[in-house]
Structure 1
Amino acid sequence: MTLDTAFRATEVLIALAFLQQSAEFMLRSGVERAIFAVRIVACLALLIGAQTELALLVLVVISLWMLHRFQGPYNGGSDRMSLLILWCLTLAKWMPTLFWQEVIFGYLAFQLTLSYFISGRVKIVNPEWRSGRALRDVFAFSAYPVSENLRQLSTRPRLLWAASWAVILFEVVFPLALLNQTLLIAALCIGASFHLSNAIFFGLNRFVWIWVAAYPSLLWFQGRVFGDVF
């Protein structure tokens, strides 16, 4: 994947992610509704490829307003990833030289890889994750499951043990996927499926679009730095 193609794919995907995030604010009134209406217009400009550098700057300014308004990221991890992608993409697009464009976009790819690896490392040293109890508690007690029927999964410890280790192993070995393009594509498909399952089971729908929006940077980075090692 070329750098320009990765830029364009990221613009489209982050626009879709921000449109989803902004829709809920259309039910409000006053300043918030007006600002998020502007955010939607900027996202539509990104989608059609019109004045993309200006649209990104508008989104950056709005992101600063959101950090002030909500005293930090509005929705935790998904908003932190949103800020990372937006700022890296904007800085890369406005850099005057190819060298700095690649450095900044490569940083985004590195942070995406690190997000999976660190998440897996945290889980693998946690005995509750290794035993499957962490997932059992999520299904049994938390407010996350979108259906009460899903809570019945808490009575299937072997299934949840296997699911826990599947998530742990995927996240821990994810960096190895950079060694081969086919392997990376497979890993990203698994990652997207993982985020989609979280949206279905737990209602964490913000994570789907925004994590996928960072995938083009990784596809470009793998080809640019590693190629196919094997």
Structure 2
Amino acid sequence: MTLELAVRFAEIILGFAIFQQGLEFIRGQQPEKTLGLIRAVLAILLMLGLQPLLVESALLVTAIMLIKRFQGPYNGGSDTMTVLVLLCLWLSHVAPSRYWQEIALGYLALQLTLSYFQSGWVKVVNQDWRSGRALQQVFALSAYPVSESVRLWAGRPQMLQVMSWSVMVFELLFPLSLLNQTLLIVALGIAALFHLANALLFGLNRFFWIWPAAFPVIIWFQARLMSVF
């Protein structure tokens, strides 16, 4: 995948993610209601590929306004990832040379890799995650809109321990996927299914769209690494 194609695909997915986020704010209060509408319109322009530099500049400004409005990211990790992807794509457009374009996108690819590895590391050093109790508490006591049938999973500790270790092993081994493109594609497919499961089970729909927005970039990055080494 070429750098230009990776950027274009990333902008399309990012645009869809921001459009979804914008719609959430439209039903809220001012000023986020107006900001949400503006961001939804800008997201459509981004998906269409119309003046991406200007559109991403405007999206960064509105993102800063929302951060100031809520005294930090409104939705935690998903909003932080949104700004990261947006900023790196914006930098790729303003970069003075191909070298600096690659630096900006390489940074995004490394941050995506670290986001999985760090998440796995935080879990594996936690006894509750290793034993499955952390997931048990998530299913039993979660404030997210979990169905009653899903909450019953809290009564299956052995299954939850297997699930916990499956997630931790995948996240910790994710950096190794950079060694082979086929392995990376498989890893990204598993990651997408993981985010989809979180969206279906816990309503974490924002995570499902924003993490894959960086997938085209890491596919380009892996190929670029192999061409160097």
Q: Name the TM tier (shorter chain).
A: over 0.9
Aligned residues: 229
1:182 paired residue number: 182
2:86 paired residue number: 86
1:116 paired residue number: 116
- After TM superposition, give the deviation of residue 179 of structure 1 in Å: 0.3
Could you say if the C-alpha distance between residues 228 and 145 of structure 1 is closer, same or farther in structure 2, counting changes exceeding 3 Å? Answer: farther
Would the aligned equivalents of 1:88 and 1:108 in 2 still touch at CA under 8 Å?
A: yes
Structure 1: unaligned runs, 5 residues or longer: none
- After TM superposition, give the deviation of residue 211 of structure 1 in Å: 0.4
Would the aligned equivalents of 2:128 and 2:134 in 1 still touch at CA under 8 Å?
A: yes
TM-score when normalising by structure 2: 0.96
1:45 paired residue number: 45
Would the aligned equivalents of 1:180 and 1:228 in 2 still touch at CA under 8 Å?
A: no
Could you say if the C-alpha distance between residues 135 and 49 of structure 1 is closer, same or farther in structure 2, counting changes exceeding 3 Å? Answer: same
- Looking at structure 2, the residues matched to 80 and 35 of structure 1 have their Cα atoms a distance apart, in angstroms, of 17
2:199 paired residue number: 199
Letter in 1 for 2:222: Q
How many percent identity over aligned positions?
52
- Looking at structure 2, the residues matched to 137 and 31 of structure 1 have their Cα atoms a distance apart, in angstroms, of 36
Structure 2: unaligned runs, 5 residues or longer: none
Letter in 1 for 2:137: D
1:52-131 equivalences under 5 Å are 52-131=52-131
- Looking at structure 1, the residues matched to 63 and 89 of structure 2 have their Cα atoms a distance apart, in angstroms, of 14
Letter in 2 for 1:162: V
Would the aligned equivalents of 2:2 and 2:220 in 1 still touch at CA under 8 Å?
A: yes
Tell whether 2:12 aligns with 1:12.
yes
- After TM superposition, give the deviation of residue 35 of structure 1 in Å: 2.2
CA displacement, residues 177-224 of structure 1 (integer Å, 9 cap, x when unaligned):
000000000000000000000011111110000001011111010000
Would the aligned equivalents of 1:146 and 1:200 in 2 still touch at CA under 8 Å?
A: no
TM-score when normalising by structure 1: 0.96
1:151 paired residue number: 151
- Looking at structure 2, the residues matched to 161 and 227 of structure 1 have their Cα atoms a distance apart, in angstroms, of 40
- After TM superposition, give the deviation of residue 51 of structure 1 in Å: 1.1
1:169 paired residue number: 169
- Looking at structure 2, the residues matched to 30 and 142 of structure 1 have their Cα atoms a distance apart, in angstroms, of 29
1:160 paired residue number: 160
Letter in 2 for 1:24: E
